[in-house]
Structures are given as C-alpha cells and as structure tokens.
Structure 1
Amino acid sequence: MNAVASDPRIVNAGPRPVRISSPPERLEATVPLLESVGDAVGDVPAILALALKIGRTAPRTGEGDTAHLWELLASVTAVDVAAGRVLEPHLDAISILAQAEFNPRAGAGPHALEQARDTEDQTWGVFAAEASGLRLEAAQDGAGGYVLNGSKPWCSLAAQLDRAIVTAHLASGGSGDPGGGARAAFAVRLHDPGVSCETPQWSSRGLREIPSGTVRFEGVCAVPVGGTGWYLERPGFAWGGMGVAACWLGGAIAVARDFRSALATAAKGGREPDQISLAHLGETDRTITSLIGCLARAATRIDAGDLSGPEAWSEALRVRGAVAAGVERIQAMVVQDLGPGPLAFNETYGKRMADLSLYIRQHHAMRDDAQLGALTLKGDSSW
C-alpha cells in the first residue's frame, strides 16, 4: 500500500477477539479464525465459506453459551463489518431452525422440516423485511405443502446463498390462518427455478459487497418453520435482535481501537493528545465497558430462561437502543478527533466507518424507543 493509501497515525495490529464474558484463553483460540476473516475481506465467497465453517461449531442462541456466540459475532465484525453482516444471518437461521418444532397444522410434514435443518453445507439468509408495494404470499399447494408467490425486499446476498428463511403472508384459507394475511416463516431453496434475484443499484459506500435487492418468487416450494405468527412471537426473535447489536458493538470497538492507535502513534511521534482527545477516549472506554456489561447480562438472562416470554422484546429494545446510541456517539467522537485524513486515505478505517454507518441503520431509532415506551407504560420495566 503506497504512502497516500494509509493514514500513518492508525496502525492496524493483528485481529483481537471481543470479550463479553468468556475466559481469555477461550477467546485466544479464535485468533486463527479471525486472521482468516482478515484475509477474506471483500471476498464474499470466501466469507461465506468461513460462515459455513463457523456455523458447524458455533453455539446457538439460548442453549447455554449465548455470550460466546455474541463474542464470535462481535469479534468477526471488529475485523470487518461486512463479514459480520454475512455471518450473523447465517448463524441466526441455524438458531431459528433449531428453535422450530414441527407443527402438524402448518403442513409439509416433520421430515420436510428435518431436511430443512440440514445446514452442514448450506449458506443461509433470513429475509423478514416488508416494503410498501411488495408482498410475498404463501398458499397451500393441495398436497399438504406450501408455495410462495410475490416479492420480498432487502434480501442480502440472495443470489449467492443456498437457502433462506423468509416470512410470508398466508393467503386466506391457509391451514392455521386465523382469517387471511397473518404471517409465517418458511424455509426455501434460493436456487429453485422460480426464484429470481434482482441486482440493485447500490450507490452506498457502505457494505458495497453486500447489496440487498428484491427477490421474486413464482410457485416456489416452501417448508413451514413454526406455525402462524411463530417467527415474530418466539423469544428467539428478540434474542436474534440482540445478536445484531453484538455485531454493531464489534464494529464500534474496532473504531475505538483505531482511535486509540492513532493517539498512541501520535504520542510516540511527540504529539501528545490534548484534553479533548483524552476526554473522548475516556468516554469511549466508558461507553464500551457499559455496553459489554449490558450484553453480558442479557446473555446470562437468556441462558437462565429469564427472557423466554414477552419481556424478551422489551430487553431487546433496551439493548439495541443502548448499543446503537453508543455506536453512533463513538463514531461521532472519533471522526471529530481524527478529522478527514483517515477517512480520505486509510482504506480499512474508511470502509469500517461507512459499513458501520449503514449497518446501524437497521435500528429504528425513536420508533423503537416509542415501542419500548409503550411497553414501559404497561408496566414492563424493572423500575
């Protein structure tokens, strides 16, 4: 890399894990994997291959080792935000399939669900977004199964994945449908001839290797995953939302490490940080420490069964809101302190900032706080 391509104040050391609560020696064992992630930056097929490898041994949410799952997500995202954005839905899909139980009212039969759970050599996405003017419907096919017709927005990497869990509206009269229009989750094969993936015009600098376009389904066979409403009502929906927050935090920790590296390098060169820089670094430390504690407590509560009911979503809104606010604050402080230089000339730092700024927009900001406020008004709080 030439002298102009990298801001010399930011010295990127080797990848380091993000610790939530695991023993340091356990995290040290993940360093070779993180080095592989670093080697694969920008290479989506290579990142997907790593996601497959990680998915074979990674813990599943709620099965006693949730904190380590979130450490893996945060650590990979700290190496490269886009890699974390690829890994998270793959691991989430594995957890969703593990959580699902065969529902005889949902059709397709238990063997179909067992076949869908074969994730050994299959890369997965989770497509649950909705958009005005686009609708995906599931209808019974007359043989006990379902077919999907319609369009689904915001389907990241659909053309490069093997399978996905998608949410669809049940056509009126579907088995288990309380009256038409309710949603359910389905497992689908993305290489089915009835699937067509749009390649979107992706003008954003952030997450450029992960464009999220619309996928169209025409008579695509689908396996029900849980029953009507199960996908959104299960506590695992909230747990998965906190897993995304762990990714956001991993990205912010990488930005904070860049900041500390820049200040330390400048100090070695005779330019000591001023009080404002030290205050920003202190606030960054305080924020990250608090957010790690927040995730550690949530993971412990999940594994203890304390977040297995309706209260799970309130906790998810708290965690996601706290992490999103902390991430944005850290980014703002670091940009103010380091100025335009690294944004203009340090590829790793610039990519990280752009990727993270787009990824954090999965948080719905004040709308999520309004949801939490409504739940708090009903008494769903600890205070």
Structure 2
Amino acid sequence: MTAALISEPADGPDGHLLRRTTAERFAHWVKSGAADLPLPGSGATMRRLSMLHDLGRDDLSLARLAEGHSDARAILHELGAPAPAPGERWGVWAAQPPGTVLSARHDSRAGWRLDGVKAFCSGAHSCTHALVTAETEDGHRLFTVATDDARCSPVAGSWRAVGMAGSDTPDVRFSDVPAQPVGDVDAYLRRPGFSHGGVGVAACWLGGARGVADSLLRAARRREPDQLLSAHLGTVDVLLYGAQCVLGKAAEEIDAEPLEEGERAAVLASRARAVVADVCARVLDEVGRALGAGPLCHDAEHAQRVADLTVYIRQHHAERDLAVLGTLLAEADEGALGAEGWRDE
C-alpha cells in the first residue's frame, strides 16, 4: 500500500502533503537504524522515553508512527515472535471503538483470515506490516498482517483530521486477508508491556507539549521584558518539569519490575498518562493565553503543533480513564493514594 500514499486522492492538499511528508520521514527513520529503541524494562527505559519525547517535540505525527513501530517491536519480542526485518515499517492497530468490528476465523486449509473494519490505523498507507487485534470465537487475539495485500485497504475519507493529519490514521477494511496469530487469546492485553507501552505514548505527548512551549520561550527571548509573559513561561516550565519527573519515576519502576503486570502495572501507567495529559492541556492553555491568536494565524508550524497535540492527547479518555484508575485503587488490597515509593526505605 505504500505507493498508494502518492496517488491516493487527497482529502485536501495540505493533509495529503502532510501524510506524504510524514511517511517519507518515517521510512527514513526506520531505514537509518534510529528505530532500534531500547525495549521497555531493558534497563534503559528512560532512554526509550527520551527518544520518543524528542520525536514528539519535532513532529507529533512522525512520533505517532515511530511509537507504533517501536511498540510493535516490543510486543513481538515479549510474545516470542520474530522481530521486524530490516526496512519493515510496523504499526499496532488495536483500537476498538463502537461501530467497527474486525473478525478472525480459522480454516484448516487456508489458516487464519480477517474480515471487517479496523478503526484508527496509523500509518495505513506507509506501514508494510501491522499487528492487529481481532475477535475470534474464543476471544480477542493479536495477528500479524502484511499490508501490501490488495484486500487490506484504507477506507477513503475516514481520516479528515486537521490535527495529526500526517499520522494517516483512517479505518482499514479487511476482506479475507491472511494473518498469523501472535500469542494466545488475550495475550496482547495480559502481557506486562501493555501498560509500559502506554507510558511511551505519554512521552510523545510531552514532547509535543515542549514543542508548543518552544514558541513561548522564543517569544519571551525576543520581546521586551513582560511580567505577564514571564509568569506564563515560568508556569509552563514548572508543568513540563513535573511531567518529566513523573516519566522518569515511571521508567525507574518499569526497569525495577519489568515483568510487573495486572493492577500494579495498570496503576503505574494510568497515573503517568493522566499527569502528562493534564500537563499538555495546561501548556496549550498557558501558551495560548500568553501569545494570543497571532502565532495560531500566522505561524503554520506552531498552529500545526497545537492542532496535533490537541488531537493526540484525546487518546487519553479523560474522566473515563481516571474512573478506571480510581476503581483499581479502591479494589486494591494495599497501597496508598499517590504514595508508592515515597517513603525512605
């Protein structure tokens, strides 16, 4: 499907250009060897998060594709499947919103086949392979697919986003597409790395927030001294510093207990994601109040960063995710609110 990125009718000239540019940068990133990020829990998780953060600061759409590829590498490693071959570009297509269903059926002669629609498939035109979750008679399973199959096709017009336009995240229709299972039923969700991967996404968000904040820092350095602008800048600095500390603490905990799973791993990831998502929203607000409409109207790069971050942090489901965290804490047999690791042992 890679060639289709060039010839596909554009939803709009700007969106088409962003998709094409991001796809080219993604391909270069993989080919250069930069995609070999440390695996979560390998002892270098902070380096992994830092690399994802830096990608987000540069380009959130590129970071989205890079995070998906690096997450796919980690999932394949954790579930004992072969690693991506050199030059392959992988995505993880595991969203399950209402209204779209992807089913997998097994035939003794033809093997596993996928039918239906999968929503939010980032890199639909630029990924060579994908890890895809699908419903089976026994429950949800994870499969690998090669996206160059003509029966695996993006649904035209299903990704009209302004923010994250370059991430190329349309629905994809599968029609009798051959697939290979990875792990057992629900193995994708049960593995420890499921929560670790969520922290990696938060690192991308934080990088995007720092990219937005860079505009504020540049403005403060070139303008006449302005106490209100300085107050906004100081607030943003404190917010970013706090979120970075939270991710650093999460990386330490992941490396200390790389096989931690279940509720403890979910609480760790939920806390980190919630803190970072809140910081990103507050940074967007602070920078907008400090700089006004000017850069949103006249600085295309800044406006795109703001739009990208606004969309990407909606991958955090706000009060719904906080409710899940609260339920986990209420049902736990031990542990205090926000106090893990605080006491001096």
Shared fold per TM-score greater than 0.5: yes
Q: Which segments of structure 1 move beyond 6 Å, counting only runs of 4 or more? A: none
CA, structure 1 residues 319+138, in 2 after alignment: closer, same or farther (shift >3 Å)?
A: same
Q: CA deviation at 1:144?
A: 8.4
Counterpart of 2:130 in structure 1 is 164
* Distance in 1 between residues matched to 2:36 and 2:199, nearest whole Å: 20
Secondary structure of 1:184 counterpart: strand
Query: CA RMSD for the aligned pairs?
Result: 1.9
Deviations 1:88-116 (A, max 9, x none): 10111011111113xxxxxxxxxxx43xx
* Distance in 1 between residues matched to 2:265 and 2:283, nearest whole Å: 27
Secondary structure of 2:165 counterpart: coil
**Match 1:153 to one of 119, 122, 126:** 119
Equivalent residues, number: 317
**Match 1:325 to one of 265, 275, 278:** 278
Deviates more, 1:344-353 or 1:303-312: 303-312
User: 1:255-334 to 2 correspondence within 5 Å?
Assistant: 255-266=212-223, 271-274=224-227, 276-305=228-257, 308-310=260-262, 311-334=264-287
Deviations 1:137-186 (A, max 9, x none): 1111204832111111111221221000000011x2xxxx2xxxx10111
Deviates more, 1:53-62 or 1:317-326: 53-62
Q: CA deviation at 1:203?
A: 3.8
**Match 2:59 to one of 58, 61, 80:** 80
Counterpart of 1:254 in structure 2 is 211
Which one has the largest radius of gyration? 1
Task: Determine if the alignment matches structure 1 residue 243 to structure 2 residue 196.
Answer: no
Counterpart of 2:104 in structure 1 is 138
Q: CA deviation at 1:46?
A: 2.8
CA, structure 1 residues 366+54, in 2 after alignment: closer, same or farther (shift >3 Å)?
A: farther
Secondary structure of 2:116 counterpart: strand
**Match 2:89 to one of 123, 134, 152:** 123
Amino acid at match of 1:359: Y
* Distance in 2 between residues matched to 1:56 and 1:255, nearest whole Å: 24
Amino acid at match of 2:178: C
Q: CA deviation at 1:302?
A: 0.8
Whether the 8 Å CA contact 2:25–2:62 is kept in 1: the answer is no
Deviations 1:184-231 (A, max 9, x none): 111111112321221325443212222321111122111111110111
CA, structure 1 residues 52+145, in 2 after alignment: closer, same or farther (shift >3 Å)?
A: farther
Deviations 1:259-307 (A, max 9, x none): 11101110xxxx2112x32222222111111111111111111111166
Counterpart of 2:77 in structure 1 is 98
* Distance in 1 between residues matched to 2:230 and 2:335, nearest whole Å: 35
Whether the 8 Å CA contact 2:124–2:168 is kept in 1: the answer is no
* Distance in 2 between residues matched to 1:187 and 1:60, nearest whole Å: 20
Whether the 8 Å CA contact 2:91–2:131 is kept in 1: the answer is yes
* Distance in 1 between residues matched to 2:226 and 2:156, nearest whole Å: 46
**Match 1:357 to one of 310, 318, 340:** 310
Give the TM-score, by structure 1 length: 0.79
Deviates more, 1:301-310 or 1:228-237: 301-310
Whether the 8 Å CA contact 1:123–1:162 is kept in 2: the answer is yes
Amino acid at match of 2:163: G
* Distance in 2 between residues matched to 1:201 and 1:229, nearest whole Å: 28
CA, structure 1 residues 339+169, in 2 after alignment: closer, same or farther (shift >3 Å)?
A: same
CA, structure 1 residues 52+133, in 2 after alignment: closer, same or farther (shift >3 Å)?
A: same
* Distance in 2 between residues matched to 1:161 and 1:131, nearest whole Å: 21
Secondary structure of 1:84 counterpart: helix
Secondary structure of 2:179 counterpart: strand
Whether the 8 Å CA contact 2:158–2:171 is kept in 1: the answer is no
* Distance in 1 between residues matched to 2:84 and 2:26, nearest whole Å: 20
Amino acid at match of 1:327: C
Whether the 8 Å CA contact 1:156–1:210 is kept in 2: the answer is yes
* Distance in 2 between residues matched to 1:98 and 1:366, nearest whole Å: 33
Task: Determine if the alignment matches structure 1 residue 229 to structure 2 residue 208.
Answer: no
Whether the 8 Å CA contact 1:56–1:120 is kept in 2: the answer is no
Percent sequence identity over aligned pairs: 35
Q: CA deviation at 1:43?
A: 4.1
